Amino acid sequence: MSTKFRNLKNDLKDLEDDSVSQLNQGSLDKNSNSGKLSNYILLFAFIATLTFYVGSRIDFSGIDNPIDRIEQAINEPNEELLQGMGTWMTDMGYGELSREELIDLRREGVTATETQKLHDIGYTDITLNQLVEFQNAGVSADYARMMKELGYTLSIEELAETRRAGVTAYFTSRMMDLGYTKEELTKENLMRMSGVEVTDRTAARLIEQRGERPTIDELVRDRISNQ
């Protein structure tokens, strides 16, 4: 065998050995990376479990939450606004209200502007508790004014009662447009119709079908029978 051929054979063998060596090294690296990934997963699972365990044992109720502080600061009424409201409420006969009382009223939705509107309508004897009740019942000065314009003389308690029952000035006005009188549209009948969701469209449909106005009782019965 010539020297040249022997050298070529040796070179091929060396190349083959290098390829096998690199292949084996790649497998080792792959296995090593796979092992590292598994270790990371196990470590993450351990940390997550530990965090959950520790968190379940710690009471955070006494720790001051900065988000709560920010929200409280945003909701805190302007001092100038409070002073103006206090002066206005005093002028309307509510006496000297403390800062805390004014803040509580504001949080309930009571404002001096709305209170003044109610006074202008004639509800000058409305108490602070009743002002809060109005807010909870959804009574606005506009509702009180419009019901008065429609001919109703409702007490403070009746205003809250009708609004809690879902009565609106719009519905009352629309029923009057259809020919129903205030004597028919009593407070009780308005609340009855609202309770079963009689609408002015229902009344208009029945009037068109029958050629005459159904009574309030008939409107209620029709609504109940079609529910």
Helix axes of 128-137 and 156-164: crossing angle, nearest 10 degrees: 20
Residue 21 CA to residue 193 CA, distance in Å, equals 91
The yes-or-no verdict on residue 60 having pLDDT over 50 is no
Q: Let me know if residue 192 belongs to a domain.
A: yes
Q: Let me know if residue 29 belongs to a domain.
A: yes
Question: Which of 15, 34, 52 is the C-terminal boundary of a domain?
Answer: 52
Q: Let me know if residue 103 belongs to a domain.
A: no
Q: Let me know if residue 77 belongs to a domain.
A: no
Residue 185 CA to residue 198 CA, distance in Å, equals 13
| Per-residue pLDDT tens digits for 156-194 | 999 999 999 999 999 999 999 999 999 999 999 999 999
User: What is the model's pLDDT at position 171?
Assistant: 98
Averaged over 189-209, what is the pLDDT?
96
Q: Note whether 176 and 182 are within 8 A (CB).
A: yes
Nearest residue to 182 via CA among 138, 148, 155, 224: 148
Question: What are the residue ranges of helices labelled H in 78-226?
Answer: 79-89, 99-107, 112-121, 128-137, 141-149, 156-164, 169-177, 187-195, 200-210, 216-225
Q: Which of 22-26, 123-127, 151-155, 168-172 has the lowest mean pLDDT?
A: 22-26
Averaged over 29-45, what is the pLDDT?
63
Please, which pLDDT band fits residue 68 given cuts at 50, 70 and 90?
A: low
Domain range spanning residue 191?
A: 165-227
Q: Let me know if residue 30 belongs to a domain.
A: yes
Residue 154 CA to residue 175 CA, distance in Å, equals 18
The H-or-E segment that residue 3 falls in is helix 3-57
Q: Let me know if residue 19 belongs to a domain.
A: yes
Structural domains in the chain (count): 2
Q: Let me know if residue 76 belongs to a domain.
A: no
Mean of the per-residue pLDDT values of the chain: 82
Q: Let me know if residue 101 belongs to a domain.
A: no
Q: Note whether 193 and 219 are within 8 A (CB).
A: yes
Please, which pLDDT band fits residue 114 given cuts at 50, 70 and 90?
A: very high
The yes-or-no verdict on residue 42 having pLDDT over 80 is no
Q: Which two tokens stand for residue 90?
A: 């005093």
Q: Note whether 215 and 192 are within 8 A (CB).
A: no
Please, which pLDDT band fits residue 57 given cuts at 50, 70 and 90?
A: low
Residue 145 CA to residue 120 CA, distance in Å, equals 9
